[in-house]
Chain A
Amino acid sequence: ELKVEQNPLFLSMQEGKNYTIYCNYSTTSDRLYWYRQDPGKSLESLFVLLSNGAVKQEGRLMASLDTKARLSTLHITAAVHDLSATYFCAGKRYTGNQFYFGTGTSLTVIP
């Protein structure tokens, strides 16, 4: 089983600030995914990271993957209120179809 841990669980940050969400996983994970969930809504795929050193960016969000450290990060640059949501990372083994989700990070951006 692949265990995925995120921290922090809760994050309150001011608009305009930068911050990083961390996602650690227990064993080799060849695929790492980031999702966003708005309150009362479904999960929406943000990034797919498929190899060591992969970096993906979309707007104020940038995700990276270090398979040797078993760590993925989601960096938020100059946060805006619209980024308030819960962010999940999920790992997936090369073999098999199951996704292993972290507990999620609830992000609140304060004006």
Chain B
Amino acid sequence: DARVTQTPRHKVTEMGQEVTMRCQPILGHNTVFWYRQTMMQGLELLAYFRNRAPLDDSGMPKDRFSAEMPDATLATLKIQPSEPRDSAVYFCASGLEQTQPQHFGDGTRLSIL
């Protein structure tokens, strides 16, 4: 089965460090979504792309977060500088047609000390 691949699976780093999370969407999917999941806030949409173009990043703190899709096989989410409140699980999901569900990756579990 085709899968969304996220790396790294786990990341522990100190406050102030740059964090880069990567996502390989399912081949042929033209939409990519970044979500953050915490116990307090639940599942939050951070940004999403269609055909590599950013459509909405209003859920992202702009001063420290950035999302890009350098090519159709790679999406990145960067945090610089990182803060303890960024600790969460970050999911990438990809999709294709209007009616199809999003397919989620296994997530990156991020801990900022």
Interface residues of A (CB under 8 A from B): 31, 33, 35, 41-45, 48, 50, 88, 90, 94, 97-99, 101, 103-104
Contact = CB atoms under 8 A, between A and B. Distances in A.
A101 B103 contact: no
Contacts of B34: none
Given A98-B56, A99-B33, A48 B45 contact: no
Given A33-B101, A41-B106, A45-B101, 19 more contacts: A31-B99, A35-B104, A42-B104, A45-B103, A48-B99, A48-B100, A88-B43, A97-B48, A97-B55, A97-B95, A97-B98, A98-B33, A98-B45, A98-B48, A98-B55, A98-B56, A99-B33, A101-B45, A104-B42
Q: Which of B42, B43, B106 has the most CB of A within 10 A?
A: B43
Interface of B: 31, 33, 42-43, 45, 48, 50, 55-56, 91, 93, 95, 98-107
A68 B106 CA distance: 35
27 contacts: A33-B102, A35-B101, A35-B104, A41-B106, A42-B91, A42-B105, A42-B106, A43-B91, A45-B102, A45-B103, A48-B99, A50-B99, A88-B43, A90-B102, A97-B50, A97-B95, A98-B45, A98-B48, A98-B55, A99-B33, A99-B45, A99-B102, A101-B42, A101-B43, A103-B42, A104-B42, A104-B43
